Amino acid sequence: MLKWIKRHIVLLSIAPSGFIFLFIYLYYDYAEHGKNIYGLVMHLTDTHIQDLLMHGMVSLAPVISTITGFLYERTLIYKRSLEQRVEERTVSLKVSEERFRRLSEELEQKVDERTKRLQESVHYWKDTFDSTPYGIFIIDKEYKILRLNRYITQLLGRTYEEIEGKKCYEVFHDSDEPVKSCPLEKAQFTEKLEGSEFYEPSIGRYLWIHVNPVIHEGGIEAFVHSIVDITELKEKEQSLEKGRDAFLNMLRDIHESYNDLKELFVGITRAFVHALDAKSQWTKGHSERVTMYATQIAEEMGLSKDEMENLRIAALLHDIGKIGTYDYLLDKPERLTSEEFQIVQRHPATAIEILGDIRQLKDILPIIRHHHERFDGKGYPDNLNGEDIPLGARILCVADSFDSMTADRPYRPSPGIGYAKLELKRCSGTQFDSRVVEAFLRVLG
């Protein structure tokens, strides 16, 4: 109740004034016009219009005072509400103003920082652009030079002002129209990186030019040109070409000399072979045939070109040690005694003694020395076995044995190719390497 009275104190202060006024008026009429209620009622119902209006207005005084109090109270409440709202808005505006001021300061600081960084970036990229060791300039679709770096000015010996805004073909080629080999013409159609080499007589330099289109929103906006001075490279290239020609001529001379030496070497080798053949009619042509068989086996087994060449020379020289063997042993019509066979067995070692000082034959000597070794280790001169025997020597052993079995000898006639094939198969894995035998039988087949 007390809270309600406090809320409506204004209404309670104004509204009673109408009732008080009505009470005073009634008391006055009562005092003036009658000392009883009847007289007062008669006075109040007086038919004079002025008095009736006066009585009506006085009767409405409580209502008017109540309405006036209510409206005044509402006005005060609304005013206080407006003031509170204005105060709240003022505080809010002050807060917003302070926040806006801070944001403005922060934004201004960020703009200053961004501007500073942007300026630093511009200076950095401008310095980088000018410091590149090759020429860069940007050209629009009308061939007008929009940007260029210091390299271009140094290359052409002109200032920025003399180059910027000019047509590129006017500056570089002193021409009124684009040159035919200009890569920009091609880049306009391909929309890809294009390049070409130029010799520019106005500056006496060889230039390599790249043109890369700058494409924006599906269309070419400009072209980035890069120019590299390749004059020194061209001069070195020309010098290298001259040196290359001289080197090729030298190689040609060396090759001819090598062929001459090779022919001389082959000639000497064949002379050795012929000297050996001359010792006995029974060995005539033996080395040539063994060489043919050995190279056929090597080819069947897939040996390299160098291995086949070494084998070919080894086959030609494999019996060169027999030069030191007594002639009568080569022509003896009976089988050799054990002592005589031991003398013949020395011919591989004798061959090494004859050829050992020739440095170029170092890869051939093992083939010659071991071509009488057996796969089972019972051969001579070193009793090697299996894979310890050089492959070339294993091939030469098969070829040499086959020719010996298919040729006449002073102590017997040739037993024939069929017998030789059977012997190769029988001795495969013992006297001969089975892989070599299989390859030779394929050749013979």
293 and 421 share one domain: yes
pLDDT, position 168: 80
Q: How many angstroms separate the CA atoms of 135 and 441, rounded? A: 72
171 with 218: CB under 8 angstroms? Answer: no
- Identify whether residues 334 and 432 lie together within a single domain: yes
Q: What is the pLDDT of residue 114?
A: 85
Q: What are phi and psi of 378, to 5 degrees?
A: -100, 15
Taking only the tens place, the pLDDT of each residue in 85-130 is 888 888 888 888 888 888 888 888 888 888 888 777 767 767 676 7
Dihedral angle over CA of 54, 59, 62, 66, nearest 10: -80
Rounded to two decimals, what is the model's pTM? 0.44
Q: Interhelix angle for 61-131 vs 9-33, to 10°?
A: 160
Question: In which element (H, E) is residue 96 found?
Answer: helix 61-131
Q: What confidence score (pLDDT) does residue 349 get?
A: 85
CA 164 to mean position of chain CA atoms: 37
Kindly state the tokens that stand for 242. Answer: 């001259």
Can you tell me whether residue 271 is helix, strand or coil? helix
Q: Could you tell me if residue 53 is inside a domain?
A: yes
Name, in order, each residue with C-beta under 8 angstroms of 432's C-beta and a sequence gap of 6 or more. Answer: 374, 375, 394, 397, 398, 401, 424
CB atoms within 10 A of CB 269: 17
Residue 238: the pLDDT is: 75
Average pLDDT, the chain: 77
pLDDT beneath 50: ranges in the chain: 47, 328
Q: Does residue 261 form part of some domain?
A: no
Integer CA distances (angstroms), 400 to 98, 291, 397, 442, in order = 112, 9, 5, 17
* C-alpha span between 193 and 175 (Å, rounded): 24
Q: What is the CA radius of gyration of the chain?
A: 63
Which tokens sit at 310? 């070494």
- β-sheet bridge partners, residue 409: 412
334 and 420 co-located in one domain = yes
Do both 314 and 365 map to the same domain? Answer: yes
Q: Mark whether 99 and 138 lie in a shared domain.
A: no
Q: Is 439 among the domain residues? A: yes
Domain range for 95: 2-104
Task: Please answer whether residues 269 and 288 qualify as being in contact, where contact means their C-beta atoms are separated by less than 8 angstroms.
Answer: no
- Tokens read off for 442: 């394929």
- And the tokens for 341? 């066979």
Task: List phi, psi (to 5°) of 205.
Answer: -130, 150
Instruction: Report the pLDDT value the prediction gives residue 437, as an integer from 0 to 100.
Output: 95
Residues 202/157, Cβ–Cβ less than 8 Å: no
> How many structural domains compose the chain?
3
Whether 54 and 185 share a structural domain? no
State whether 90 and 186 are in the same domain: no
Q: What is the CATH number of the domain that holds 207?
A: 3.30.450.20
Residues 44 and 187 in one domain: no
Three-state secondary structure string covering 385-417:
CHHHCCHHHHHHHHHHHHHHHCCCECCECCCCH
